[in-house]
A and B are shown apart, each in its own frame.
Chain A
């Protein structure tokens, strides 16, 4: 097995506002059995962005090999770390697992986007992968768990993945955390509330005492569904709590 290591210590002069880092894989994809591990430290008062050049393609699995990516990030005081990659696309029969662990202090800020598509749907592959697992953990000082989330999708379960997804093709989770992003949190919460209030209504076939009418009462599903939640500890002066969205888009 090939093993490589790259250490990047200095990415720019000390008066840089934010460092943008693009992570690239050879060939732009992950093949069966690949294992990629990244460690990140964002120093006090710094801003860093980690993103990709294109969507991460996970190729079919050979045997029962699983490909994996692991990211461990430490974010310092007064810092902002934004993890905003392109989505992961698992090809038919792919097996993929990723784990992202973020260690923050009381005034760190984080933006995490974790999203994945149904596959190469132009080729007719919709939710055709074997196994997808994504873990995102946020720990504060003293290893206190703030956010623990794992999504697991496996074929051969009670329902086919495609059926469970009800024609939606993308799932995204966005975490917006920390004091620097309070205004963004508020805006996002308001926007999601506004968008979703229009999408949800008592269907006309069961309009009883609810008189809310819509010009198209049809039973078509919303093109996307989103929800926004607050989580995390609340501290005296400002809200450390953050918001999270889950979107599914047709």
Chain B
């Protein structure tokens, strides 16, 4: 990088260049800080309990719809497609407008949209954990804690906020300063991360195979993110009804490793 110039006796054009350079360095410094936060939000070590959920994979195995790595690949594509079509509009809206009012509205709509009880409970469980962690971790953003406290304290089942995952994820990203495209892509990433992790624990694929698979699937995941991102709420739809049914039947499994 260029050394900064002494701003002495510079022409107006040169002064502009110096100012632009300073701005760029300031933004780069903000961007760097942001990257650390972004990596932390997407890191599996963040204690949000994502690993209790298999996203219907365990039920799919017990229904013999998935038995090996090829089936797994198709399953993940279907899951990501459905995540994109159904949930990205919520992530997008909450990132673009990370206010209490919008969050409450999105949460209410998503609660009526997640008609599959298993999926709904999983979403609430992950969202609650994420909100609790985010409020504790990002102390420089006091509104995270205050919004959480408002919604917790609103009484039992007046049902103001259920803490669904997608709106909380978007809200957190938005308040931290992550842009909407990265936020939506991030949501797809954590979904893929968690289902692949579930696959290793269900012995469909080993840890090395899982890592290879995750990288192989990145182009598909990116394409699906691009396809479904930045859409309005009214467009939210499910594109994998069989997957939805299978996930819903998780409750009937006699022996199970996962909550959902």
Q: Which residues does A use to contact B, with CB under 8 Å? A: 133, 135, 145-154, 157-159, 163-166, 168, 171, 192-193, 196-197, 199-203, 205-206, 210, 212, 219-222, 225-231, 233-234, 244, 246-248
7 A-B interface contacts by CB (under 8 A): A133-B237, A152-B237, A157-B81, A171-B242, A202-B255, A227-B246, A227-B248
Complex Cα gap A125–B63 (Å): 25
Q: Mark B222-260, 1 if CB is under 8 A from A, else 0.
A: 011000000000001111111011111101111100000
Across-interface contacts of B116 in A (CB, < 8 A): 227, 229
Determine if A158 and B224 form an interchain contact, defined as CB atoms under 8 angstroms apart.
yes
Q: Which of B63, B67, B238 contacts A199 (CB 8 A)?
A: B63
B180 → A minimal CB distance (Å):
22
Complex Cα gap A152–B223 (Å): 18
Determine if A231 and B249 form an interchain contact, defined as CB atoms under 8 angstroms apart.
no
- Stretch in B15-23, B96-104, B105-113, B126-134 with 4+ CB within 8 Å of A: B105-113
Determine if A158 and B255 form an interchain contact, defined as CB atoms under 8 angstroms apart.
no
Determine if A153 and B67 form an interchain contact, defined as CB atoms under 8 angstroms apart.
no
Q: Which of B61, B81, B117, B254 contacts A229 (CB 8 A)?
A: B117
A47 → B minimal CB distance (Å):
25
B40 within 8 A of A: no
Number of A-B contacts (CB under 8 A): 129
Nearest opposing residue in chain A for B253, CB measure: A200
Q: Which residues does B use to contact A, with CB under 8 Å? A: 59, 61-65, 67, 74, 77-78, 80-81, 85, 108-109, 112-113, 115-118, 120, 157, 159, 203, 220, 223-224, 236-242, 244-249, 251-255
Nearest opposing residue in chain B for A136, CB measure: B115
Determine if A153 and B239 form an interchain contact, defined as CB atoms under 8 angstroms apart.
yes
Determine if B255 and A225 form an interchain contact, defined as CB atoms under 8 angstroms apart.
no
Determine if A229 and B118 form an interchain contact, defined as CB atoms under 8 angstroms apart.
yes
Across-interface contacts of B109 in A (CB, < 8 A): 145, 148
Across-interface contacts of B115 in A (CB, < 8 A): 147-149, 229, 231, 244
Contact A229-B248, Cβ < 8 Å, known A149-B115, A157-B81, A164-B78? yes
Complex Cα gap A8–B223 (Å): 50
Interface centre among A197, A220, A227 (most CB of B within 10 A): A227
Complex Cα gap A228–B63 (Å): 16
B199 → A minimal CB distance (Å):
13
Contact A146-B112, Cβ < 8 Å, known A203-B67, A231-B117, A246-B244? yes
Q: Which of B157, B242, B251 contacts A225 (CB 8 A)?
A: B242
Determine if A248 and B242 form an interchain contact, defined as CB atoms under 8 angstroms apart.
yes
Determine if A230 and B117 form an interchain contact, defined as CB atoms under 8 angstroms apart.
yes
Determine if B245 and A200 form an interchain contact, defined as CB atoms under 8 angstroms apart.
no
Determine if B239 and A157 form an interchain contact, defined as CB atoms under 8 angstroms apart.
yes
